[in-house]
Structure 1
Amino acid sequence: MDVLARYEPLMDDPAAFRAACERPLPQAVRVNTLKTTVERARAALDAEGIDYEPVDWHDTLFRIPTDKPGNTWPYFHGWLYGQEEVSAVPALVCDPEPGDRVLDPCAAPGSKTTHLAALMEDTGLLVANDSNLGRISALRSNTERCGITNVAVTKSDARNFSLKPFDGEKFDRALVDVPCSCEGTIRKNPDALDEWTLDHVEGVSGVQKGILGRAIEVTRDGGTVVYSTCTFAPEENEAVLDHALENYDVELVDYDLPLDHAPGVTEWDGTEYDSSMTRAKRIYPQHNDTGGFFCAKLEVAE
């Protein structure tokens, strides 16, 4: 099946969408401000003779030509974290404050966890949960390399996450970056769609609804829940949000995003979604020469 053709009706320029998906993805790194400053990181890269290009929409992000940033000493010492450029969006949208209680229910290997910790200035409580022991090992390694001390790493199915170890106290914010069909990673993983099936998309959508629902339940009244994926499928994006709006006392809120993007869709394959879905953001590969991404911001009613 030509999976990309499935989404061409959503595009203003289907040819540009397809062409972008076929190009290799530029490598990016984020400066870990818990260990260094942007200026020192730039000086370190200059001293090592490593070319880089600052990303215009956020000063902590650089595009870097090497596909192995881990071979550089600034990376080894935790000054840099390698991640897709659009992967930095959800933590910025979550916008935690120092001292907050924040949940990252699907945290491994840690790109968003480490970003949240930096935004929190390594204060408050950051719970980084995952269900896979192997991925938790990578999560722990990355948090240690980045010098994070406010993190508690837990292992559980995010659909059944328990507040008991945390005295039952709810979180101020949650960043729900769920497992997905990863269609938006095709530029990094050209074989990402080789085993794509609609059954898998629909199956993982059910898991996503459970994870998002539990995150809402453990977030305090007035708190923020950010939902994100790296897929184009409305079944995993708008349909999951629509389920949350129908079953929980939450609302989708708009937010500023300094990247080119499209709004969330309100209809797909004969199914209509809540009109507020346009407040979600769809980032397609042709918009900013990045991977594909989806991000929405929910507020829990007070």
Structure 2
Amino acid sequence: MDPLSRYDPIVDDPTAFHDACGRPLPSVVRVNGIKATPDRVRRAFESAGVEFGPVGWHDGLFRLGGDESPGNSWPFVHGWVYGQEEVSAVPALALDPDPGERVLDCCAAPGSKTTQLAARMDDRGLLVGNDNNLGRLSALRSNAERCGVTNLVVTRADARNFSLKSFGGEAFDRTLVDVPCSCEGTIRKNPDALEDWSMDHVEGIAGVQKGILDRALEITRPGGTVVYSTCTFAPEENEAIVQHALETHECRLLEYELPLDHVSGLTAWEGDSFDDSMRRAKRIYPHHNDTGGFFCAKLEVAG
């Protein structure tokens, strides 16, 4: 059975959903605000003969035309742009860090969201990019250097046990929890993403996700913000994880603006019910915006 068929009851148009999942994903780049502006990138692409077009909901994103690859232009080499899937830009926008704050990216490598956070922070304050994979951390460092990020500290740790000891014991203002997942929403970019899909894997990775979100809530200050996101459709990895957080921590779900077409988080799934505030979470389906799939929820730690 196609694993995606289990979501037919919760999508508005199952046929359009499956058709979109079967099409290749458009290439998108994000303007790196540390080094460039959208206008500067437009002029650079035009002079380099790069085919591109605007993304309607975000002026710092461009879709590349034809067979253009994000890494095949000099603006990429010089760190003016970063190849980033369109919906992958959502979590950093939801977290909305300010310059000078203390921010943690729990699962940072290879760096698309980390470098986006740095730009939104105007490269000021403390940004910690953590990952437990040494090879991926190498990519994070390389990407941060290319993008001119200077406020980043790179750490290697299991995010479920992240320690504040190296940071004076002081909690973070904002934490991004973009967790490892079953990656169902990446099927357009990785057609073999679901070859080894199983409910056992979904349920197993959900345990890891709970642990990472638990720790993020513990090390974020009262009144601080935690954003939880995945690139999967599975409620077991999305609403159920956030529900666990609501039941075990002093926190609440926040509403946030998202000009990209989306639907609300689920309040029920296969016999399980979730808090009514789960409607404040966002689900993004491939057929709504010609993107990948995504889930994003914004939490505030009680203060």
TM, length-normalised to structure 2: 0.99
CA distance in 1, matches of 2:208, 2:78: 36
1:67 positional shift: 4.6
1:274 positional shift: 1.1
Aligned to 1:124: 125
1:68 positional shift: 2.2
- Conservation of the 8 A alpha-carbon contact between 2:281 and 2:296: yes
Report Cα offsets for 1:201-254 as digits up to 9, x if no partner: 000000000000100100000000000000000000000000000000000111
Report Cα offsets for 1:119-176 as digits up to 9, x if no partner: 0000000000000000000000000000000000000000000000000000000011
CA RMSD of aligned residues (A): 0.7
1:184 positional shift: 0.1
Q: Structure 1, unaligned stretches of length 5 or more?
A: none
Aligned to 1:141: 142
Runs of 4+ in 1 over 4 A off after TM superposition: none
Letter of the structure 1 residue corresponding to residue 275 of structure 2: D
CA distance in 2, matches of 1:27, 1:68: 7
- Conservation of the 8 A alpha-carbon contact between 2:203 and 2:236: yes
**Residue 43 (structure 1) aligned with residue 43 (structure 2):** yes
Aligned to 2:15: 15
CA distance in 2, matches of 1:254, 1:33: 26
CA distance in 2, matches of 1:224, 1:248: 13
CA distance in 2, matches of 1:191, 1:129: 27
**Residue 83 (structure 1) aligned with residue 79 (structure 2):** no
Aligned to 2:195, what secondary structure does the other structure show?
Answer: coil
**Residue 99 (structure 1) aligned with residue 91 (structure 2):** no
CA distance in 2, matches of 1:67, 1:167: 46
Give identity over the alignment, percent: 70
Aligned to 2:2: 2
Letter of the structure 2 residue corresponding to residue 90 of structure 1: P
Aligned to 2:248: 247
Aligned to 1:123, what secondary structure does the other structure show?
Answer: coil
CA distance in 2, matches of 1:32, 1:105: 21
Aligned to 1:215: 216
Aligned to 1:113: 114
Aligned to 1:238: 239
CA distance in 2, matches of 1:53, 1:94: 26
Q: Structure 2, unaligned stretches of length 5 or more?
A: none
TM, length-normalised to structure 1: 0.99
Aligned to 1:30: 30
Report Cα offsets for 1:36-82 as digits up to 9, x if no partner: 11111110000011111111111110001245221211000100100
Aligned to 2:59, what secondary structure does the other structure show?
Answer: coil
Aligned to 1:43, what secondary structure does the other structure show?
Answer: helix
Tell me how many residue pairs correspond in the alignment: 302
- Conservation of the 8 A alpha-carbon contact between 2:50 and 2:68: no
Aligned to 1:186: 187
CA distance in 2, matches of 1:61, 1:263: 24
